[in-house]
Structure 1
Amino acid sequence: METGEMGQKREGVWAILSEGKEGQDKTGRKDQTSILEQVIKEIICKHLEGGKVIGNSQHGFVKNKSCQTNLIAFFDRITSLVDKGEAVDVVYLDFSKAFDMVSHDILIDKLGKYNLDGATIRWVHNWLDNRTQRVVINGSQSCWKGVTSGLPQGSVLGPALFNIFINDLISVLSMPISKFADDTKLGGIATTLEDRVIIQNDLDKLEKWSELNRMKFNKDKCKVLHLGRKNQFHTYRMGKDCLGRSTAERDLGVIVDHKLNMSQQCDAVAKKANMILGCINRCVVSKTREVILPLYSALVRPQLEYCVQFWAPHFKKRCGEIGKG
């Protein structure tokens, strides 16, 4: 820890193995590297929390924040603007292979800018550097190749490092932005031409940021949700690509529609809950309370309660549909 050095680098490789291959380790035991990752993560998170480095816009892998806090914080402002008669445009952004695209060199540089101690930075650099990988398919193996970007999938430290990597995204924008790891959205008033120019300028800045940080947006999946009665349904672009329009977007598992009445979310939840109830009814012979109640609590209630504080139905009809579930 003091030197920031670590050995046996190749043990950290995640190879693609054939399922059921003899000799494949399925014990799930934590190796020494995973334990050290947890220690380093705690050091980094303590430093970030003390210096309030990670902005309030990030809700993923942050203490006391969740999908629910992300949705409530973002749409509280959006719905207030719509209630005042403003047109609002929400842009949903989609990073292409976000965790796999993180440049090691740029990440290490950002760690230094956030004043992490030298030993921690050296350890992270060592953890990422000289990493190799290969593909194994049906017993055939590719050559080992060096990896210069990407955070190891399933790692303890990866999410914290990703939050640091995209933390400076907010500093280049004029409009509020909301993030849950790589799920990112921004929204602002779009009533006047000047308002829409501000949104477009922020999209241009995002495009430039992605180029400087060697990240890519999947522009086919980036969508604009137009809200408000006075909305002009303006077409925005990122680079040379025009962004598509959407009447409803699945935002962190919750369907947000252009009317903001959550009707599609209520319908989807009621349908899913009733489908599970039907499956339980067909497959479980015993209908006693001792059998059905645990199944309901484990399988049905999570569907009804996920982020319900955000999308809870306000109309009697919708409440009835959910109540039947």
Structure 2
Amino acid sequence: NYRGITLLSCIGKLFTSVLNSRLYSYLTNENILGNEQAGFRPKHSTLDHIFALHILSKSYIDQNKQLFCAFVDYSKAFDFIDRTYLWQKLIASDINGKVFDVIKSMYENAKSHVSFKNTLSNQFPCEVGVRQGENLSPLLFAIYLNDFNTFLSERYNGLSNTTESISNELHIYLQIFCLLYADDTLVLAESAIELQKALDSLHTYCNKWALNINIDKTKVIIFSKGRIRRFKSFKLGDNSIDVVDDYVYLGTTFNYNGTFNKAKAKQALQARKASYSLITRIKQLNLTLEVSIELFERLIIPILLYGSEIWGFECPKQLQAMFNKTMRKFLKLHKFTPMCMINGELGLKDISEYIENRMMNFWYNIATGIENKVSSVLYKWIKVLHDQNKYKSAWIEKVKTTLDITEMPNLFHDTTSVNKSCFKNNIKVRLEDVYAKRWSDSVFNNGA
């Protein structure tokens, strides 16, 4: 399972970086790149689509409806793009002239080597795919898949109920058929029949544009309040697609019932493994306590809390327990040593403080960011429903509560009074004050 890496000169990398920037600006200004694509785009991240799927799945579950989702895995998508089709899609996107000629010339007569045990093979032609690790490749792949959403829209209804509700509440017309993050593809439907239509369309699209799907890794989740028992598998061509209870989407585990218990367990396990490796390395290098704590915050916390911007409204008890156990082991303390004492001595933060800080910064980004971004539209939609008592979102409620305890409740309805850097600093400082008070209370209670 080896993949080639593109080796370019520094000047070549600089050139493709400039070309990528100019091409992206053109696609954005001309509104060519679909909003469903969030991969490798400025002011977009995996969190946007994780949030979008959470909001969509919970809205259907809480209405006693089902949301059918197919998680599609392509087989080495970047490596097997048909370049002839890629040139067609570039031209169809009005990318022509000198820019087109430059991109095409980069791939003409492309050759590769294989290096193995200090031996270098002869050159051989490389006639398919886009270059791995090259600045322009993600955008070229996004252009290659850019017509997928339109292709689906001509063959099934997508999330028509959500489209209607958003249109009624926000007067914004947002059709949702799929969510794309580079080659990570999620197809959504409101019924089994509709999802099968979507999968049939996906099969047709892949055959037309020479894309290969990894059947073993492509799965379906039916989001619902209760487990769907004995549901027959879906078909993708002649192959069956299994219905599963959970799936790791963009690094976060989604469960059919909308809870994130498995997501938190996964992050805790990964963080535990990473922390043991770090502790071993710290001992080998005989690092100081201050440096060790800094390494924990920079290396372990991001692993432990990946995706907490979305699932952080749920109780982080198991994550706090994992962190507490790890810190006691590292410091060689008794397992019943109060964490409030350890936190006070070392200046450690409570896991909940990290989570709330991350949640609030993500909230500010989608509340004030690109207006037509899928995550931003879905946030505004669910906020309106929440304000009108038509729907209660635990995520929205957590945001409101955090703004209340940090004495910034007015920001929930009006974010124009503070810029991003100011908000980021304010929320950090005010959360520190809140948790300092809680720490003081816990010390008093432990002392009592």
TM-score by length of 1: 0.82
Question: Which one scores higher on RCO, CA 8 angstroms, separation ≥ 6?
Answer: 1
The count of aligned residue pairs is 296
| Residue type of the alignment partner of 1:64 | K
Q: Show the counterpart of 2:243.
A: 245
Tell me if the contact between 2:267 and 2:306 (Cα under 8 Å) persists in the aligned partners.
no
1:161 CA drift (Å): 0.6
Match of 1:158 among 130, 137, 149: 137
Tell me if the contact between 1:78 and 1:188 (Cα under 8 Å) persists in the aligned partners.
no
Q: Secondary structure at the match of 1:245?
A: coil
Q: Show the counterpart of 1:217.
A: 213
Q: Secondary structure at the match of 1:220?
A: helix
Q: Secondary structure at the match of 1:73?
A: helix
Q: Does 1:119 align with 2:109?
A: no
- Which one is further off, 116-125 or 136-145? 136-145
1:260 CA drift (Å): 1.9
1:312 CA drift (Å): 1.7
1:276 CA drift (Å): 3.9
Report matched runs for 1:240-279 at 5 Å: 240-279=238-277
Q: Show the counterpart of 2:199.
A: 203
Distance of 1:15 and 1:91 partners within structure 2: 29
Q: Show the counterpart of 1:5.
A: none
1:284 CA drift (Å): 3.5
Looking at secondary structure, tell me which structure has more strand per residue: 1
Q: Show the counterpart of 1:298.
A: 298
Report matched runs for 1:128-143 at 5 Å: 128-138=107-117, 142-143=121-122
Q: Show the counterpart of 1:22.
A: none
Q: Show the counterpart of 2:186.
A: 185
1:263 CA drift (Å): 0.7
| Deviation sequence 1:222-260 (CA, Å, 0-9, x none) | 111122127463421100000022222111111112222
Tell me if the contact between 2:73 and 2:214 (Cα under 8 Å) persists in the aligned partners.
yes
1:278 CA drift (Å): 4.3
Report matched runs for 1:33-48 at 5 Å: 33-48=12-27
Q: Which runs of 5+ in 2 are unaligned?
A: 159-176, 327-448
Q: Secondary structure at the match of 2:253?
A: strand
Call closer, same or farther: CA 1:276–1:107 in 2, change over 3 Å: closer
Call closer, same or farther: CA 1:103–1:280 in 2, change over 3 Å: closer
Q: Show the counterpart of 1:3.
A: none
Tell me if the contact between 1:54 and 1:167 (Cα under 8 Å) persists in the aligned partners.
yes
Tell me if the contact between 2:57 and 2:67 (Cα under 8 Å) persists in the aligned partners.
yes
Q: Show the counterpart of 1:90.
A: 69
Call closer, same or farther: CA 1:134–1:86 in 2, change over 3 Å: same
1:267 CA drift (Å): 1.5
Distance of 2:313 and 2:321 partners within structure 1: 10
1:141 CA drift (Å): 5.6
Q: Does 1:78 align with 2:54?
A: no
| Residue type of the alignment partner of 2:270 | K
Distance of 1:267 and 1:141 partners within structure 2: 44
- Which one is further off, 268-277 or 220-229? 268-277
Tell me if the contact between 2:4 and 2:132 (Cα under 8 Å) persists in the aligned partners.
no
Distance of 2:64 and 2:269 partners within structure 1: 33
| Deviation sequence 1:11-64 (CA, Å, 0-9, x none) | xxx978xxxxxxxxxxx8843322221222122111101011111111111111
Tell me if the contact between 2:90 and 2:96 (Cα under 8 Å) persists in the aligned partners.
no
Call closer, same or farther: CA 1:89–1:128 in 2, change over 3 Å: same
1:313 CA drift (Å): 5.2
Tell me if the contact between 1:87 and 1:230 (Cα under 8 Å) persists in the aligned partners.
no
Distance of 2:24 and 2:299 partners within structure 1: 34
TM-score by length of 2: 0.61
Distance of 1:141 and 1:287 partners within structure 2: 41
Q: Secondary structure at the match of 2:293?
A: helix
| Deviation sequence 1:183-227 (CA, Å, 0-9, x none) | 1112222xxxxx222111111111111111111111111111122
Cα-Cα RMSD:
2.5
Q: Show the counterpart of 2:443.
A: none
- Which one is further off, 299-308 or 160-169? 299-308
Call closer, same or farther: CA 1:292–1:15 in 2, change over 3 Å: closer
Tell me if the contact between 1:15 and 1:136 (Cα under 8 Å) persists in the aligned partners.
no
- Which one is further off, 134-143 or 39-48? 134-143
| Deviation sequence 1:116-143 (CA, Å, 0-9, x none) | 2410001111111221224344566655
Distance of 1:53 and 1:85 partners within structure 2: 36
Tell me if the contact between 1:87 and 1:231 (Cα under 8 Å) persists in the aligned partners.
no
Q: Does 1:66 align with 2:45?
A: yes
Larger Rg: 2
Tell me if the contact between 2:78 and 2:141 (Cα under 8 Å) persists in the aligned partners.
yes
Distance of 2:128 and 2:183 partners within structure 1: 16
Distance of 1:82 and 1:256 partners within structure 2: 13
Tell me if the contact between 2:268 and 2:319 (Cα under 8 Å) persists in the aligned partners.
no
Q: Which runs of 5+ in 1 are unaligned?
A: 1-13, 17-27, 190-194
Q: Secondary structure at the match of 2:41?
A: coil
Q: Does 1:312 align with 2:308?
A: no
Distance of 2:4 and 2:291 partners within structure 1: 42
